[in-house]
């Protein structure tokens, strides 16, 4: 039991070292209230233990915390996977394409410009780290491959999240890997 936390649970306005002092003499008897300056009666050991027990999370809360934390990790893994980029054969051979946030925005903007008829010539786009010309059809394939990459990762995340939500114990939850 943490006596300081139990006292603060009982008396939320109490300030340690001002309103009370907890001390441990290292004599094997453990910590105790050495000084009590509150107007309230000093709590008994049983009252402190009861407060401490009340503060402890239930098994359901612990499981929900594990679940929430693991779902956040899966979400981060999904984002990392999306941002790592993708492969497209839009130019006839496999090339890798960057897919950081600014790349996604630029890709979307370029497709909008093509659709609006603003772009009339080949689009120079970095494929495998080298700027290369893409005609409209190639660029549309590139865009579709990027979208498929993003959607595949998002769908994988939703599937893994559903598994984590339906898991009944912490071991099963943390065993769900990206």
Instruction: Give the length of the chain.
Output: 178
DSSP classification of residue 149: H
Same domain assignment for residues 103 and 128: yes
Specify whether the CB–CB gap between 71 and 162 falls below 8 A. Answer: no
Q: In whole angstroms, give the CA distance from residue 88 to residue 126.
A: 12
Same domain assignment for residues 79 and 144: yes
> Can you tell me whether residue 169 is helix, strand or coil?
coil
Q: Percent of the chain scored above 90 by pLDDT?
A: 99
Same domain assignment for residues 42 and 28: yes
Q: What does the pLDDT read at residue 39?
A: 95
Residue 92 belongs to domain spanning: 59-174
Q: In whole angstroms, give the CA distance from residue 143 to residue 55.
A: 52
Residues 6+ apart with CB under 8 A from 18: 37
Same domain assignment for residues 137 and 70: yes
Q: What does the pLDDT read at residue 19?
A: 97
Same domain assignment for residues 66 and 153: yes
Domain count of the fold of the chain: 2
pLDDT per residue as tens digits for the range 55-101: 999 999 999 999 999 999 999 999 999 999 999 999 999 999 999 99
Give whole-number Cα distances, 13 to 2, 39, 117, in Å: 17, 12, 66
Q: In the numeric block, which tokens belong to residue 64?
A: 């929900």
Confidence tier at 47 by pLDDT (50, 70, 90): very high
Same domain assignment for residues 82 and 11: no
Place of tokens 């934390």: 69
């Amino acid at each position: 039991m943490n006596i300081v936390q139990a006292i603060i649970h009982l008396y939320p306005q109490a300030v340690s070292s001002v309103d009370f002092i907890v001390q441990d003499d290292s004599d094997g008897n453990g910590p105790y209230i050495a000084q009590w300056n509150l107007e309230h009666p000093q709590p008994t050991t049983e009252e402190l233990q009861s407060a401490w027990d009340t503060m402890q999370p239930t098994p359901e809360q612990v499981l929900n915390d594990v679940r929430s934390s693991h779902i956040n990790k899966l979400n981060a893994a999904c984002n990392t996977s999306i941002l790592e980029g993708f492969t497209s054969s839009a130019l006839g051979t496999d090339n890798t394409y960057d897919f950081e946030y600014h790349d996604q925005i630029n890709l979307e903007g370029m497709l909008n410009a093509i659709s609006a008829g603003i772009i009339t010539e080949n689009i120079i786009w970095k494929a495998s780290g080298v700027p290369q010309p893409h005609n409209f059809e190639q660029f549309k394939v590139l865009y579709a491959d990027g979208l498929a990459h993003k959607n595949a990762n998002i769908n994988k995340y939703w599937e893994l999240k559903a598994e984590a939500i339906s898991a009944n114990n912490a071991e099963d939850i943390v065993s769900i890997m990206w």
